Structure 1
Amino acid sequence: MSDPLRPRASLRTAVVWEVLKDALERRAKAAVPEGSGLDVLDTGGGTGNFAVPVAELGHRVTVVDPSPDALFALERRAAEAGVTDRVRGVQGDAGGLLDVVESGAYDVVLCHGVLEYLDDPAGGVRNVVRALRPSGTLSLLAAGRNGAVLARAIAGHFGEARRGLTDPDGRWGEGDPLPRRFTAEELTALVGEAGLEVASVHGVRVFADLVPGVLVDTEPGAVEALRELELAAAELPAFHSIATQLHVLAHRG
């Protein structure tokens, strides 16, 4: 089974993967009949970093992504993992999501790294929520505003860090690759306004992007120790404000 928790990659995906696996397990136990697998929608799922491991758990995954190249790579990845029959790629985006997938057809929807690029994040959240079944679950992952400020300051770019503090979209300058970032409060408000109940908020990559790579690569056991630290800090609200990314798990009904 492929695993998004590979060395180094694990530091960026560990928290989200652990929360998602637990949510999928709980939803699967409530499925009728039990063990029949869930219908999962991965918006902006790209090459299948999460979609393929989710399919390997026995679920049916539809990936919506605007990039034909990403969908081709997804197809190849699914074939290598032996889950072609459980992974389907569809070209499209969150803005026109319901033009390419059925409304109210999915037990779980993943919306990871999508809101940052939408002109209307609130509209994007409403679209993914409409794709959920009445008791569905949303996994929402987006870039954290304050984490970027901290990273720019530690790198010595103090002017950029200050701009990130005051910019309405959390951007630190013209060279910033992201159109916008969010606080935990902004994300939970978007989810609540779309009619979902927030179950949990986790900070993602609280330390991983700040620790020098050479330390992680050369110290024995450093990757696993840092991964465990990330998992321990993720649930603590005090660390949400400095996380590079924020993960919100929410339920409908």
Structure 2
Amino acid sequence: MSDPMRPRASLRTAVVWDVLREALDRRMKSAGPGGHGSRAVLDVLDTGGGTGNFAVPVARQGHRVTVVDPSPNALFALERRAAEAGVADRVRGVQGDAHGLFDVVERGGFDAVLCHGVLEYMEDPAEGVRNAVAALRPSGTLSLLAAGLGGAVLARALAGHFSEARQVLADPHGRWGEGDPVPRRFTPEELTALVSGAGLAVEAVHGVRVFADLVPGALVDGEPGALEALLKLEAAAAEVPALQSVATQLHVLAERESG
């Protein structure tokens, strides 16, 4: 089954999407008829969801998605993208951010919350996680994606910027210098501690883009079958703790236990 979005974008999203889709399927089955409604349709919140990289595919699975993003331009692109995908009736864009989340959405109103690429830009990442958790219904699911510290060290070193690579390790926020566009990065231990501290049970940790950002594009685009092979390698590496520590991004899946 071919997907026109697959080639390059898939290297960035494949691992997270596979994990998320399975988690939503499990949540949908557990909700079922007699759950929140007459049929198992989930309410999903995507904080910082931008133009809908995850929101639109989630809506195509049949779920209702609310996207909170500070950018009007991103929300306009989201609206257009949802319409083109035929899911405009299941995607709602709201201008706002994770800091003031409950100015625009209700507490405890969602079966799943996606917090992807948000914590890096928050002054207080713990607040971002607490807000995401507070938006969940009992037994809700959190999908958290954030920049990995080890991946930045490896990338700077392989580019020959050895002092910058060392600076990532020394900097309290994992930055390589004033020109670094990412305000902070995390280790797997830091992310899981934030999630556990907010009262969730960590179900799984995955490394995202362990190799994809390091492999020259010519090797992927020029060799038949190379993309599929790299995708399979990324999927296999995602669950290996030693490789998670050098991933460009880290994904944490967690559950809010009822009661």
TM over 0.5: yes
Q: Residue 187 of structure 2 aligns with which residue?
A: 183
Give matches, 1:96-175, under 5 Å.
Answer: 96-175=100-179
**1:30 is paired with a residue of what secondary structure?**
helix
Q: Residue 17 of structure 2 aligns with which residue?
A: 17
Displacement, 1:91? 0.3
| Identical columns (%) | 79
Displacement, 1:33? 1.2
Name the amino acid aligned to 2:121. Y
Displacement, 1:32? 3.4
User: How far apart, in 2, do the equivalents of 1:161 and 1:43 lie?
Assistant: 30
| Correspondence 1:57 to 2:61 | yes
Displacement, 1:199? 0.2
**2:92 is paired with a residue of what secondary structure?**
strand
User: How far apart, in 1, do the equivalents of 2:3 and 2:255 lie?
Assistant: 25
User: How far apart, in 2, do the equivalents of 1:42 and 1:6 lie?
Assistant: 21
Q: Residue 42 of structure 1 aligns with which residue?
A: 46
Pick one of 180, 197, 206 that aligns with 2:210.
206
| Correspondence 1:235 to 2:209 | no
Q: Residue 71 of structure 2 aligns with which residue?
A: 67
Once the two structures are superposed, residues 148-206 of structure 1 have per-residue CA deviations (whole angstroms, 9 ceiling, x without a partner) of 00000000000100101110000001110000000000000000010000000000000
With over 3 angstroms needed to count, the CA separation of the structure-2 counterparts of 1:55 and 1:128, relative to structure 1, is: same
TM-score (norm 2): 0.95
Does the 8 Å CA contact 2:29/2:40 hold for their aligned counterparts? no
Pick one of 220, 223, 230 that aligns with 2:227.
223
Displacement, 1:214? 1.0
With over 3 angstroms needed to count, the CA separation of the structure-2 counterparts of 1:161 and 1:7, relative to structure 1, is: same
**2:31 is paired with a residue of what secondary structure?**
coil
User: How far apart, in 1, do the equivalents of 2:181 and 2:143 lie?
Assistant: 23
How many residue pairs get aligned? The number is 253
Displacement, 1:5? 5.8
Does the 8 Å CA contact 1:4/1:17 hold for their aligned counterparts? no
Q: Residue 92 of structure 2 aligns with which residue?
A: 88
User: How far apart, in 1, do the equivalents of 2:58 and 2:183 lie?
Assistant: 29
Aligned CA-pair RMSD = 1.4
Displacement, 1:72? 0.2
Once the two structures are superposed, residues 217-241 of structure 1 have per-residue CA deviations (whole angstroms, 9 ceiling, x without a partner) of 1111111100000001101111111
Unpaired runs of at least 5, structure 2: none
User: How far apart, in 1, do the equivalents of 2:188 and 2:224 lie?
Assistant: 34
**1:90 is paired with a residue of what secondary structure?**
strand
Displacement, 1:3? 6.0
Does the 8 Å CA contact 1:3/1:53 hold for their aligned counterparts? no
Does the 8 Å CA contact 1:147/1:243 hold for their aligned counterparts? yes
TM-score (norm 1): 0.98
| Correspondence 1:249 to 2:253 | yes
With over 3 angstroms needed to count, the CA separation of the structure-2 counterparts of 1:2 and 1:36, relative to structure 1, is: farther
Displacement, 1:2? 10
